[in-house]
Structure 1
């Protein structure tokens, strides 16, 4: 994905993963629906810190206000960042191709995003069948890592 981006292909990544691997691979246009472990923030003043800074300095408390810092991820029971959700939906609604990689497309709200896609080419690569297979231009039932 990062290689396509480096070839000046216009694309965006929408992910539910929190591992930060898209960023680590060099992708830039990423909407992380559940946040990322690559970023931390203060629960009081919202000062942001990179993962590397937190790990290098063994940081547990905000250097600005002294309050607790936490990973910038969505925990169970917390709301998704609405700005990120709307940005992701906008990308999907204006895309001509949507490639879904390694998702069962059953966990909401992200599973419902596919129904917002109005483009011509829906590609689904997943080990098992999904509820959207019948609408896709191309479906590959295999392990994503072996296909990619």
Structure 2
């Protein structure tokens, strides 16, 4: 019999006992009441131990749940940090690629301009040489004409 049932039985004995008029007192069987109280005392330590165990188990479960929640939060923060770091690496790589492309374009433009200047210089020398040759040819022809 558990403690709650014994308390209900005790309550029933008091409720069904003979009442004393105008005194709000009840006559009960002393032996019967003391027997129930004795049974309650015997069973109460077990009930208290069980309640204490339940309380400790509840506390353990709460601590365990809190630790698990902390672990999940920590893992989520680490994952976020990794993602941010990867995003930062990607951003830096894109920036570096843009810088390399810009430098390559500048280099290509300088090469084109240098090649154009070199070709212009060569053509200018060829032109001067051809002009000198044309002048020499003209002079030689004039000399030939003067020999007649």
Same-fold status (TM-score > 0.5): no
TM-score (norm 1): 0.20
TM-score (norm 2): 0.20
- Structure with max Cα Rg: 2
